Structure 1
Amino acid sequence: MEYTRLGTTGTKVSKLCFGTWRFGKRTDGVVETDREAAHDLLDACWERGINFIDTANVYGDPSGTSESYIGEWLEDYDRDDFVIASKVYFPVDDGPNDSGLGRKHIRGQIDATLDRLGTDYLDVYYIHRWDEETPIEETLRTLTELVEDGKVNHLGASMMATWKLATALWESDVNGLERFEVTQPRFNAAYRDDAPYRQTPNYPVHVGHYLDFCAEHGLAVCPYSPLEGGFLTGKYERDDEAPSGSRGDLESWIDQFGDREWAVLDAIRHVANAIDATPAQVSLAWMLHGDTPTTTAPIIGARTPEQLDDSAGAVDLTLNDDHVERITAAY
């Protein structure tokens, strides 16, 4: 595994981040990744040198299950060997202060998160979304206090409009507050440049502009859905019925992909065949190609250690300029 600095901070992370949103998640009454499977996957991360682990206070059923699985696993390891990120914003109950980015909710949730993880600090604490009802200055002051208290090392922002990220950085600058150092947009070879966030129409983000802004301001970029929900693994065809138990079971999931996305997948398959790699590895290697002012540490998911092995192989894969251009041009 290779390691890189997290943006302009002094923290070093593996070039792949492991996402745990499936830990404890129930689909049709069935747990997608139970405690034993979660611990096996975390063991596999450790064995492959992946030290960057991403979770959130609402992952799992009930909320917090993912954090609990990680905390139980960490009991057998040295906490300081890992860079652990979690998030806050979404409702954890139905009370008036059980969601959002107000001081009361953030302070309550950081303590609950740390308790479930069995640690006294987070390496990265993300706001999971922008809170339209809470002044960003209140949110940033509260988060700055968490850094000053030693509960959080760095702040992060999950997806939001570029102008909102700019507003937050400005507030941090003029008020002497901690700033966001890490961002988490949706980005991959088939979702970039002029693509808006399809699933969040209230956030008219254009990915290319967003990434340019992050590079200009030295923000680390840790994209989620780097394989576009499994589409870029190459396991689907245009006329396929989605396999049972897959992301494709979602209604009309495969219908969202048009000629542009299929052209990208065709290019990825071509490169994969040429260099004896898998489409997933090529997709991730495309994201890791080249030197930029920021970190790109894609957040990968896996159901099995074998899937994790496949993704981890991307770090050792070298794409030449022609390979990269073929995939880029296909979009």
Structure 2
Amino acid sequence: MEYTTLGSTGTTVSELCFGTWRFGRETNGVVETDREEAHELLDAAWDRGINFIDTANVYGTPNGKSERFIGEWLEDHDRDDFVLASKVYFPFDGWGEPGPNDSGLGRKHIRRQIEGTLDRLGTDYLDLYYIHRWDDDAPIEETLRTLNDLVREGKVHHLGASTMAAWQLTKALWTSDVEGLERFKVTQPLFHAAYRDDVVDYLDVCADQDLAVCPYSPLAGGFLTGKYERTDDGVEAPEDSRGAIDPQFDEYYVSARGWEVLDEIRAVADELDATPAQVALRWLIEQEKFTCVPIVGARTTEQLDENAGATTVSLSADQHDRIAEARYDEEGRRWGHRE
């Protein structure tokens, strides 16, 4: 495993981050990743040199179960070996039915949630604390002052921001600078080889402000692994895959642009004797304008092995450009969602 500095933080992390949003999550009454499976995956990630673990207070059914699984696993490990990230914003049901102050980015909710997160993880501090979304109802200065206090108290080392508009990220950074508050140092947008133009303004802010980027869904929900095939009716999905069980998968990840990009990723993978998943992840890792650490959400140790193999692959400049250029047709127009 290779390691990199996380943007301007001074913290060293593995080139891949292990995402745990499936831990304890129930879908149609079935737990996607139970406690034993979660601990096996964490063992496998650590064995492969992954020291960066991403979770959120709302992961799991009920919320908080993912953090609890991780905390129980950490009891047998040195917590300081790991870089832990969690998040706050969404309604939290881990204490029963959410109340009127059990969501958002107001001081009251953030303060309550950080204590719950630390307790479930069994730690005194988080290395990275994200706002999970932007809150239109909470003044950004109140949010940032509350987060700033958490850093001053040693409960949080660095701050991050997940999905939001470029102008919102810019406003938050400007507020921090004007008020002398801690800045966001890391971002977590939806970003993969077939989905860049949609967030290019956001990524431009990250590049300009030296923010690290930790993309979620770096493989487009598994679409860019190459296990899906195009059919006259849409897409052929393997049994038990996300495409087979998630009714929104087709609309969210499958597109004319996606197929073009996947075809080029497959071609590059053949040239490198690698898998499409490894090439798609490496394309992100090798971003030149900002530090990019993809969050992989493997469901099996075999998938984790494959993902970790991305750190040993290297793309030529031509291969990297070909994947990027596959988003456009011969006349330079970006492929849309449908032909």
Same fold (TM > 0.5): yes
Equivalent position of 2:208 in the other structure: 216
Taking the aligned partners of 1:319 and 1:140, their CA distance within structure 2 comes to 39
Q: Which runs of structure 2 are paired with 1:101-180 in the superposition (5 Å)?
A: 101-180=105-184
For 1:270, what is the secondary structure of its paired residue? helix
1:226 aligns with 2:218: yes
Taking the aligned partners of 2:223 and 2:80, their CA distance within structure 1 comes to 35
Taking the aligned partners of 2:181 and 2:188, their CA distance within structure 1 comes to 20
Taking the aligned partners of 2:131 and 2:110, their CA distance within structure 1 comes to 9
1:3 aligns with 2:3: yes
For 2:229, what is the secondary structure of its paired residue? coil
- Say which of 299, 305, 309 aligns to 1:309: 305
- Say which of 270, 281, 288 aligns to 1:284: 281
- TM-score, normalised via structure 2 length: 0.92
For 1:160, what is the secondary structure of its paired residue? coil
RMSD over aligned CA atoms reads 1.1
Give deviations 1:137-165, integer Å, cap 9, x for gaps: 00000001100111000000001000000
Taking the aligned partners of 1:113 and 1:41, their CA distance within structure 2 comes to 21
Taking the aligned partners of 2:246 and 2:139, their CA distance within structure 1 comes to 36
Judged with a 3 Å threshold, the aligned counterparts in structure 2 of structure 1 residues 128 and 255 are, in CA distance, closer, same or farther, namely closer
Q: Give the AA of the match of 1:181.
A: K
- TM-score, normalised via structure 1 length: 0.94
Give deviations 1:76-96, integer Å, cap 9, x for gaps: 110000000000000014211
CA contact (8 A) 2:89 2:104 kept: yes
User: What is the count of residue pairs matched by the alignment?
Assistant: 318
Deviation at 1:255, TM superposition (A): 4.7
For 2:192, what is the secondary structure of its paired residue? coil
Deviation at 1:210, TM superposition (A): 1.1
Q: Which runs of structure 2 are paired with 1:268-279 in the superposition (5 Å)?
A: 268-279=265-276
Equivalent position of 2:20 in the other structure: 20
In the alignment, structure 1 segments of 5+ residues that lack a partner are 196-206
Equivalent position of 1:295 in the other structure: 291
Deviation at 1:252, TM superposition (A): 5.1
In the alignment, structure 2 segments of 5+ residues that lack a partner are 328-339
Taking the aligned partners of 2:248 and 2:60, their CA distance within structure 1 comes to 24
For 2:318, what is the secondary structure of its paired residue? helix
Taking the aligned partners of 2:248 and 2:218, their CA distance within structure 1 comes to 20
For 1:238, what is the secondary structure of its paired residue? strand
Q: Give the AA of the match of 1:230.
A: G
Deviation at 1:258, TM superposition (A): 2.6
Taking the aligned partners of 1:252 and 1:74, their CA distance within structure 2 comes to 34
Taking the aligned partners of 1:258 and 1:244, their CA distance within structure 2 comes to 20
Q: Give the AA of the match of 2:276.
A: P
Taking the aligned partners of 1:255 and 1:112, their CA distance within structure 2 comes to 35
Equivalent position of 1:204 in the other structure: none
CA contact (8 A) 2:227 2:237 kept: no
Deviation at 1:259, TM superposition (A): 2.1
- Say which of 164, 182, 189 aligns to 1:185: 189
Taking the aligned partners of 1:83 and 1:295, their CA distance within structure 2 comes to 16
Deviation at 1:290, TM superposition (A): 5.0
Deviation at 1:321, TM superposition (A): 1.6
How many percent of aligned residue pairs carry the same amino acid? 69
Give deviations 1:123-142, integer Å, cap 9, x for gaps: 00000001110000000000
Taking the aligned partners of 1:130 and 1:52, their CA distance within structure 2 comes to 24
Deviation at 1:316, TM superposition (A): 0.6
Q: Give the AA of the match of 1:64.
A: G
Deviation at 1:243, TM superposition (A): 2.9
Q: Give the AA of the match of 2:145.
A: R
